[in-house]
Amino acid sequence: MLKRNFLSRISRRTVIKGAAAVGALQVTSPFIIKALGDTPVKVGMVDPLTGVYAAYAQNEVTGAKLALEQINVRGGVLGRPIELLVEDSANDVGTGVQKTRKLIERDGIQFLIGDVNSAIALAIGQVSNEKGILHIVSGGHTDGVTGKDCHWNVYRVCNTTSMEANAVAEQLFTKYGKKWHFITPDYAFGHTLQQAALKDLEKFGGTMTGNELTPLGTTDFSAYLIKARAANPDVLLVLPQGGDMINCMKQIAQFGINKQIHVAGLQQELESLEAMPPEARVGTWMFEWYWKQPGVPHVEKFVADIRKMNFSKVPTARHWFGYTSLMTYALVANREKTLDGVKLAKALGGFELPDDVKLQPNKCYYRAGDHQLMTSSFVGQAKTAGKDDVEDLFEVNTVVPGDKTSPAESDTGCTLQWPA
């Protein structure tokens, strides 16, 4: 179970008016966040506010809420306030598609954000493409979103699974060994993440000792871990996320596997580390964004702003995903002086995020050929406890630019088909 801090009660519907009220709102589903003013620009957000990814989704929404407040204080989009309508995909593809159609066809949104779940992100991307709505995938990582299943209207903020694997794989191979065993979530995200890591492993000359496919929502990993330990690998790659990651890491610590095999993964999140007991916080990982970046402009302010609306807790990568997704839309729409989806989609190709949005040391921009954000990877080690701050649970050793981790545009499989 995720810690209680990360799960808020879900009510049927809440309407908030006024920028000052936005910061105090706890996440509910579905709900509308609206600033004072007429003829708002409507933005929809579809994320799994319930289920194993609830904590991550709710933090994405909180990040978008902060962006909404700041955008509206600065005059909105083209002089109009933004209204944010959030729907719960409930970690279900059919529900996500239904909610997306509702937002577009009934509520009249002009921009879409979501989903955390890769399979849902792909499915709602088909809907947004059908309807011609500009769409930023905030937290779904599977390569296809900006690869073979790409669309002219769909961009992505978070890393691809290939970027995640490429950020960590060589270090794992050279430092910890060439025999790897995988614990893989059995859906789109897990499959592409494992395939990306295996591709790197084979390129370096290593071997896979096994790949345990685990259903989403698994609570007992003992059978998979027993098989992994028996295979005697050098590295155990733990790929599930959310509550599944937490349960798996708890059981790894209980069985003492981390004392026999180096534990690692290609994506770790602060929400997960905080929800684990200290003894389970082990291994080598990649964060997509981390809150402790001494000397990087504007990061401290972002941390302080999120703390004010997040029960005094620091921001996670998920807060940054939601924040950046909505900020991207406002910035490009105000620069181009239009809400036209095709014009904005074309304008985003090559669009570079300013320092107060990118919040990282490296250049951060959307590639024109596949619509993937070239964002950094924060590589390092999990910490059992924070020293100066209880939430500082990750030691960043290297910050790798997206240009270094991403495959070339020509290798992604993306062929953009623009409207006539």
Predicted confidence (pLDDT) per residue in 107-119, tens digit: 999 999 999 999 9
What pLDDT, in 10s, does the model give residues 242-254?
999 999 999 999 9
User: How much of the chain exceeds pLDDT 70, in percent?
Assistant: 91
User: What average pLDDT does this structure show over 392-417?
Assistant: 97
Domain C-terminal end among 355, 375, 395: 375
CATH number of the domain at 370, please. Answer: 3.40.50.2300
Q: Kindly state whether residues 271 and 324 are assigned to the same domain.
A: no
Domain co-membership, 52 together with 155: yes
Same domain, 349 and 213: no
Same domain, 171 and 303: no
> Residue 33's pLDDT is what?
60
Confidence (pLDDT) at 318? 98
Report the chain's mean pLDDT, rounded to a whole number: 92
DSSP-derived 3-state class of residue 68: helix
Q: How far apart are CA 246 and CA 77, in angstroms?
A: 40
Q: Is residue 415 part of a domain?
A: no
Alpha carbon separation from 179 to 31, 155, 206, 399 (Å, rounded): 48, 35, 6, 26
Same domain, 381 and 370: no
User: Domain limits at 121?
Assistant: 4-159+296-375
pLDDT tens across 23-80, in order?
A: 333 344 445 665 545 799 999 999 999 998 999 999 999 999 999 999 999 999 999 9
Which is more confidently placed, 200 or 8?
200
Number of domains present in the structure of the chain: 2
Distance CA 199, CA 238 (A): 16
Q: What pLDDT digit, counting tens, does each position of 283-313 carry? A: 999 999 999 999 999 999 999 999 999 999 9
Contacts of 67 (CB under 8 A, 6+ apart): 322, 323, 324, 325, 326, 327, 330
283 and 337 housed in the same domain: no
| Model pTM above 0.85 | yes
The reply to whether 12 and 152 lie within a common domain is: yes
> Could you tell me if 154 and 193 lie in one domain?
no
Q: Are residues 13 and 155 in the same domain?
A: yes
Residue carrying structure tokens 């959030």: 86
